[in-house]
Amino acid sequence: MKLAAFLLATAAFAADDSFVLRNVTIHPVTSADIPNATLVVTGGKIADFGPKAAIPKGAKVIDAKGLHVYPGLIDSASNVGMSEISSVRESGDVNELGDFNPQLRAVSSVNPSSDHIPVTRGNGVTASLIYPGGGIIGGQAALMHLDGWTWEEMAVERNITMQMRIPTTTTSTFSQTFGAGRRPFAETKRRYEERLKLTGEFFEQARAYQRRKAAGGGGFTVDRKLEAMLPILEGKEQLLVFAARERAVKDALAFAAKENVKIVLAGVREPGTAVKEIAERKIPVILGETLELPLEEDSPYDSPFTLPGELYKAGVTFAFGTFSVQFARNLPFQAANAVGFGLPYEEALKAVTINAARIWGVDDRIGSIDKGKWADLILTDGDPLEGRSQVKQMWIQGRPVSLETRHTRLYEQYTKRP
C-alpha cells in the first residue's frame, strides 16, 4: 500500500502537469500575498502553497526568485477563436442570421488553431468566456481554456450562459454600402417596441413549450429553439444580457423580473440610476471596456474609467470582458485603467480572476490559488495589470503552455534580418 502510494506519487511528478515553484511571491487573490514561498502542483492541481510548503521528493523544481505567481486571468466576454480577420466575412463565425437562436453554441466554432489564442495568452489570459452574437438571442457561450488540441479539450464549460441583446432605441445606423446614417425617432421607437414584444412572445412560446413537455402525452414534438430555452426558464442557466445605457439596463432588469430568469448584465457603460437596483437584486455585471469613449458628448470625460469604482462602491459584483478578438490581450489593461479612477487594486485583480470565476460558477476549479484548484497559473516579473510587466511562463491545468505567438516568431525572424 505504501509502496503503491509512493509509486503513484513518483509517477505523478514525472508527468508534465506536476512541478514546484520555489522562492516565488504568491498572489492567491483570495488571501494575502506570500513572499518567498513555495507552490506545489500535483496532477494539474494546486497541492500546497505557503512559506513552508514541503517539496515532494523527485519533484521538478523551478526556482522563481524575484518572480510572482498569480492565477491565470479570465476574460468574461470575448470572441477569441470565432473570428480571425475581422474585415473578412469568411473568417468570422460570431453573428448568425435570425433574431432568436438559443440553440446555437459557440463552443464548436472556436478554432483551436486561431492565432488569436496564443496572442491572448501572451498577456496572462488563461480562460475566456466566448460568446456568439447576432439578433436578439445569439446562442450559447462557452467558458474555454486558451489551450487545447481541440475545442473539446479547451472547454471548461460548454454551454455556460445564453447571449441576449436587449432591444434598444438606437437611431444611428451603419451599413457597409452607405456608411453611418440616422433612422427617424418614430420609426426607431416603433421598431424598439416591436422587438421588445417579439422577445416577450418568444419567452411565452418557450413557457408554453415547457408546459407541453411537462404534461407529456401524445402530439408533443421537439422544438430545438424552445428546448434550448429550458435551462434558462428553469433557472439553471444565466442569461448574458447586453445593455449599455441606462434605459437598456432598466429594460433588461424589468425583463428579468417579468420573466423570472437569472441574468448577468454585459457591456454596461452608462447605467445611471439603475446601479442601485443592480446592487439590490445582486445582479452580476460584465463591464464593457474601460478604455472607451463616453457614450454621450457631455458625459464626464472619465465616465468609462470611473464606472468600475462606482459599481464597487455600490456593492455590485463585476468582472471585466474585452468584447473583442484583437484586443482580448488587453484585458489586464482594461482592469488597470479603472484603478487610477477609484477602483481598489485588489478589486481590479479579482475582477479578472476570482470574481469572474464566481459569476460563471467555476470558482471550484479556477480563479485563485487555493488548494485543490486547477493550476491555471502565470509567472510574471511584476504586476500583471501593468503594461511594462512581462508574463514569463504559463500553466493551464498544470501543463506548461507556450508563450510563443505569431508575433514573437515574426519578431525573432525579422530581428535577424541583416
Partner 1 sequence: MHRRKLLSGILLAPFAAYAADGTVVIRNAKILTVTKGSLEGSILIRDGKIVEVGPNVNAPAGAKVIDAGGQYVMPGIIDCHSHIATDAVNEGAVSVSSMTGTGDTVNPEDIGIYRALAGGVTTANILHGSANAIGGKNVVIKMRWGKDTPEIVFDGAMPGIKFALGENPKRRGGASEGGLNTRLRYPATRMGVEDVIREAFTDAKAYKAALDDYNARVAKGERLIQPRRDLKLEPLVEVLEGKRFVHAHCYRADEILMLLRVADEFGFKIRTLQHVLEGYKVAKEIKEHGAGASTFSDWWSYKVEAFDAIPYNAALMHKKGVLVSLNSDSGELMRHLNQEAAKTVRYGGLTDDEALALITINPAKQLAIDNRVGSIEPGKDADLVIYDKHPLSNYAKVQKVFIDGQVYFDRDTDMNERAAKAERKKALAEKQKAAARPAGNGRRPQ
**Are the C-beta atoms of 276 and 315 separated by less than 8 Å?**
no
CB closer to partner 1 out of 16 and 296: 296
Q: CA nearest 369: which of 22, 40, 17, 9?
A: 40
CB closer to partner 1 out of 149 and 414: 414
Query: Rounded CA gap, 8 and 362, in Å?
Result: 28
Helix extents (H) in 1-70: 2-14
Give the cell for residue 4. Answer: 503503491
Q: Provide the minimum distance between the beta carbon of 51 and partner 1 in the complex, in angstroms, as a whole number.
A: 29
Q: Which of 389, 392, 393, 400 binds partner 1 (CB under 8 A)?
A: 389
> By CB under 8 A, is residue 415 in contact with partner 1?
yes
Q: Which of 259, 292, 310, 370 binds partner 1 (CB under 8 A)?
A: 292
Non-local (6+) Cβ contacts of 374 within 8 A are: 44, 45, 46, 365, 366, 396, 397, 398
Segment near partner 1 (CB under 8 A), from 82-90, 105-113, 246-254, 263-271? 82-90
Q: Provide the minimum distance between the beta carbon of 195 and partner 1 in the complex, in angstroms, as a whole number.
A: 23
Helix extents (H) in 234-330: 246-259, 275-280, 303-314
Q: CA dihedral defined by 290, 292, 296, 300, rounded to 10 degrees?
A: 60
Q: Which of 4, 52, 87, 184 binds partner 1 (CB under 8 A)?
A: 87
> By CB under 8 A, is residue 2 in contact with partner 1?
no
> By CB under 8 A, is residue 404 in contact with partner 1?
no
> By CB under 8 A, is residue 300 in contact with partner 1?
yes
Per DSSP, 156 falls in state E
> By CB under 8 A, is residue 414 in contact with partner 1?
yes
Q: Which of 223, 302, 310, 370 binds partner 1 (CB under 8 A)?
A: 302
Give the cell for residue 142. Answer: 462557452
Question: How big is the site for partner 1, counted in residues (CB under 8 A)?
Answer: 46
CB closer to partner 1 out of 66 and 315: 66
**Are the C-beta atoms of 197 and 173 separated by less than 8 Å?**
no
Q: What residue type is assigned to position 235 of the chain?
A: G
> By CB under 8 A, is residue 410 in contact with partner 1?
yes
> By CB under 8 A, is residue 291 in contact with partner 1?
yes
> By CB under 8 A, is residue 116 in contact with partner 1?
yes
Q: Provide the minimum distance between the beta carbon of 308 and partner 1 in the complex, in angstroms, as a whole number.
A: 13
> By CB under 8 A, is residue 298 in contact with partner 1?
yes
Q: Which of 35, 181, 235, 387 binds partner 1 (CB under 8 A)?
A: 387
Give the contact letters, 321-340, x = binds to partner 1 (CB under 8 A), - = no. Answer: ----xxx-xx--x--xx-xx
Q: CA nearest 56: which of 25, 11, 24, 16?
A: 11
> By CB under 8 A, is residue 230 in contact with partner 1?
no
Q: Which of 390, 393, 400, 403 binds partner 1 (CB under 8 A)?
A: 390
> By CB under 8 A, is residue 85 in contact with partner 1?
yes
How many Å is the Cα radius of gyration of the chain? 23
> By CB under 8 A, is residue 277 in contact with partner 1?
no
Q: Tell me how far apart the terminal alpha carbons of the chain are, to the nearest angstrom.
A: 63
Cα 103 to Cα 11, 152, 221, 342, 413, distances in angstroms: 43, 18, 16, 40, 44
Query: Rounded CA gap, 140 and 138, in Å?
Result: 7
**Are the C-beta atoms of 286 and 319 separated by less than 8 Å?**
yes
> By CB under 8 A, is residue 417 in contact with partner 1?
yes
Give the contact letters, 174-193, x = binds to partner 1 (CB under 8 A), - = no. Answer: -xxx----------------
> By CB under 8 A, is residue 346 in contact with partner 1?
no
**Are the C-beta atoms of 141 and 161 separated by less than 8 Å?**
yes
Query: Rounded CA gap, 67 and 25, in Å?
Result: 6
> By CB under 8 A, is residue 223 in contact with partner 1?
no
Non-local (6+) Cβ contacts of 370 within 8 A are: 28, 30, 46
Binding site for partner 1 (CB under 8 A): 84-88, 115-116, 119, 175-177, 291-293, 297-298, 300-302, 305, 325-327, 329-330, 333, 336-337, 339-341, 345, 385-390, 406-408, 410-411, 414-415, 417
